[in-house]
Each structure stands twice: as structure tokens, then as C-alpha cells.
Chains A and B, each alone.
Chain A
Amino acid sequence: MEDQSKGVTIEQVRALLSTALQVPEDQITPDLAFGDIPQWDSMGHMEVLMSLENHFSVEISPDTITDLVSLPTIYDYLQVNENA
């Protein structure tokens, strides 16, 4: 799958989280993290990871599962991937 992380915006990450967690975008606050809302539990987290895998070719690994636990870390991760 083509890596679409180039030029990824915070809004795109918010939209992805909103879809994966099935919550309205206005609940996706800038610092939202795993555990902050009921939907971002262990199952919700894996939905987020699978969404990242599908849209940005992020590999689901022990490291990405434990590291990508907030909107800022996901955004930063995608920026680094962009530069890699």
C-alpha cells in the first residue's frame, strides 16, 4: 500500500481517530490519549493501530502498539516516517 503519511495533518489524524474509535471528531481533543475516553480502551487502541496500518502502512509491532498511545505521538510518528 502506498505510504500516505507525507504531509499528514493533525486534522487527518483526528479524523482517523474519530473513525477508528467511532466517536464524533469534537471529542478528539489535541492531547487525547489511550484511556482518556471509554472508546479508547484496549480494543479501541487496536482499531486505531489497524487504521494506521491500512491508511499509512504503519507496521503493527510491539513498539508501535505501546508507543502510539496518544494523538500527539501518532502525529509525531507519522512526521518522522515522512522524513525517513
Chain B
Amino acid sequence: MPNTRINITPHHLIPAHLIGEVESKLAYVDETITKAVVQPAGDQITLDLNSPANQDDREHLVRKIQQVVDTMAKGGFKPKIQILEDYLDRPIAFHEDPTEQLIEHNEINQEANGVYSLGPLVAGLVDYFESRFLELAQSFNAKPYRFPALIPAKYLERVNYFRAFPHSLSFATHLREDLDVIDDFAEHTICDKHGALTAEKDSFAPIKTLLSPAVCYHLYFAIADRTLSEGQITATAVGNCFRYESINLSSLERMWDFTMREVIFVGEKEFVLSNREKAREVVRRIFEEFGLAYKVESANDPFFIGEFRKQAAFQSAFQLKYEIRASLPYKSSTLAVGSFNYHQDFFGRHLNISLPDGSLAHTGCVAFGLERMAFAFLAQFGLETKTWPVAVRSSLS
């Protein structure tokens, strides 16, 4: 039971299409919030807090919640959701949440909130999907790249990442190069009851590096401030990506540290857009072999509160993002397992990437969350491999 539960009536009714977005952002309003629920009618918010709130704290919290709702729900913009493909009616035999079984069979082990190790069955599935997405990359003759898990802060600053997604940043640092600091750390530092290091904050060096939130950014930074003499690039890479999602982190559905395979296009607008469409065709064929129930629809990225209204509206209006959403039958919902993205000349403009004719490069990428793919597959087919589609079963055996 939570220590405190409070109900808040928002000043603005939260429209249905924003309920999920607002709900997910409430996690970042205050550290005491352990659960936030917006009622389906959008007229009430229920918060569970892990500590009793006095009157002043409560009033302050309510003000912050109202501010979030005002900022995100202000104005009447309603996104134009376009469903491009709908295969949700494919027969599904399994209807349970696979998480408990995965834990029981030691197929997933939670190391920290949103951080999981995978056992042989899930790891095999991840490898299988990875191999199929490599086929997609090969169909474009994409050149292989390898990118680091760390990314310089100055890179992310240059593409306004801090403004758009501050809530999901993960920082990397190290002990200062000072023998006294290092010796003191080695001798005295332990983890407290919450798992947090007891070392003083000034033991750590200033943060200049973060854990990378996306794979394709590394390619754009690698070609920043230059003219692409070849006119276009098609690349592919896989990497660990890090997006902190607070209390929204949940099993393999929503991980802090996850693996993403991307196919990346850089060139003229038509080159990027036509390849995005070709990728949809190839992905459709691959997903048919999996027998996965899914749909493809227009979407927007989870921009933070202050930027949400503007950026989500722009992304939606120009149909810049299409999500592949696989069915999760046990909760009558869907999960984004991949996306087809077009960034216009955003990266070309901010990173000064130009084409031989002097125009700015356009970019796009097709991205797949490999653990989410495995999770959605297990949610539709279960852990019993005998019932899996032949294409998957035969490849794994």
C-alpha cells in the first residue's frame, strides 16, 4: 500500500489522445510519486506517493501537476493518426503476460530498474530477430558500422537533445584524477540500502559524456561539418541505447538499457523517403514470416513536457514517424517494437552535413528494439517453442 494517495482534478480535461503521454510524464514531477494514473475520462489524476505529504508539499505537488497538464494539453491540436498497415487480426493462441514465466525459467533476471540479463531462449530470439533485420539492411546494401555506448554531451547539445528529452538522459562519469579521492573511494565507499553509492558527489568528474540514447546519431556526428562527396549513405549498426523512464520502466516492455538495430539513410529527400517506403515493404514480408500481429501507424516521440506540444504536433503533421506496434494480447494493447523515421534536414542543418550540390542532407532511419521484439513475440506465442511459427522455430533449432 502507498503511504499516501491523492486525487487531483486537472484544470483542463485531458483529451483521450494525450492521456498516455501525460501519465508517463507525471513520473518526473516528484521523486515521491510511485504511481500515476489518469482516469480514462481525463478528468482525474490519482497519485500514489511513497511518503506522507504535508499540506505545503501537497499544494506544491498539485501546482506542478497542473502545470504539466496545462503545458501538454493546452490548445486543441489533435494529431492525425494514420494507420498504414493493420495485421492485428492475425490469430493469436497465447494470451498471458510472459514475464512471470520468463522469471521462473531464469530467462530474464532484473539487475536494476529497467536493466535485465537474458537467458538462452530470449537471447536466441533476440539473435534471430537481429539476423532478420540484418537481411533488411543487406537488401539496401547498407554498410556496417560500429558505434560506442558512450556519446559526448557536446554532441547531444548540438542537436537540442537536452531540450527535447532531458528526462530520459543517462550520464557517465568517473572518479576525479586525484589519488586522495580514489583512495578514499576505494577504502570507504559502499552501497546504501537503496543501492546508491555513498561517495561524495565531488569525488566524480564533471559530466562530459552520456550513455547513448540512439544508434543513428553516431553516424550523423561522424559526418558532421562535411560535404558528402558520394551524395548518399546507407548504413547499419546495432548498439545498446539508454533511455531512463523512471516508474514507467517495466519488464522487457520498457527497459533503461536496450538493444537497437538501425538501418540509416542520408542523402536527398527523395532518397530517404523512398527507402523508408521500401523498408516498410521488406519489413512487412519479414513480419509475415514471424506471423506477428501488428500494425504500423503514425506517431510522435515522447518529447518532454515543455517541448511536447510543439514538437509532437510538427512530427505528427509532417508524418515523420511511423511506429510498428505489435499486439500484446494479455493487456489488449500494443507495444512499439520498431519505427520508420524521417528527420527532414534536421540533422543536416544542425550538424552542417551537405550534399555535393550544396543543399542540406536529409536523414532517416528504420529502427528495431530487439528485446521488445522478443517480448512481443513471447506475448503472442508463449515460451513453448513447439507452438512457434516454423520460420522462427527452424532458425533457432
Contacts and interface: CB of A to CB of B under 8 A. Distances in A.
Interface of A: 35, 38, 41-43, 45-47, 49-50, 53, 59-63, 65-66
B77 A46 contact: no
Contacts of A35: 345
A49 B318 CA distance: 14
Contacts of A63: 317
11 contacts: A38-B349, A42-B314, A42-B344, A46-B310, A46-B311, A60-B76, A60-B77, A61-B317, A62-B80, A62-B317, A63-B317
A43 B349 contact: no
Interface in B255-309: none
Q: Is the interface of B mostly helix, strand, loop or mixed?
A: loop
Contact of A65 (B75, B76, B313): B313
Given A38-B349, A53-B75, A43 B160 contact: yes
Contacts of B316: 62
Nearest to B349: A41
Best-surrounded residue of A42, A50, A63 (most CB of chain B within 10 A): A42
A41 B160 CA distance: 12
A43 B310 contact: yes
A38 to B, nearest CB: 7
Contacts of A61: 77-78, 317
A47 B344 CA distance: 18
Best-surrounded residue of A45, A62, A63, A66 (most CB of chain B within 10 A): A62
B239 interface: no
Best-surrounded residue of A45, A50, A60 (most CB of chain B within 10 A): A60
B349 A65 contact: no
A45 B126 CA distance: 40
Interface in B322-355: 344-346, 349
Contacts of B345: 35
B42 interface: no
A17 B387 CA distance: 61
| Top 8 closest pairs, chain A to chain B, by CB | A65-B317, A46-B310, A62-B317, A62-B80, A60-B77, A42-B314, A66-B317, A46-B314
B75 A60 contact: yes
Given A42-B311, A42-B344, 9 more contacts: A41-B349, A43-B160, A46-B313, A60-B75, A61-B77, A61-B317, A62-B80, A62-B317, A65-B318
Given A41-B349, A66-B318, A50 B79 contact: no
Contacts of B310: 43, 46-47, 50
B349 A60 contact: no
A62 B346 contact: no
A55 B160 CA distance: 28
A45 B314 contact: yes
Nearest to A66: B317
B303 to A, nearest CB: 11
Contacts of A46: 310-311, 313-314
Nearest to A43: B310
Nearest to A64: B317
A59 B78 CA distance: 11
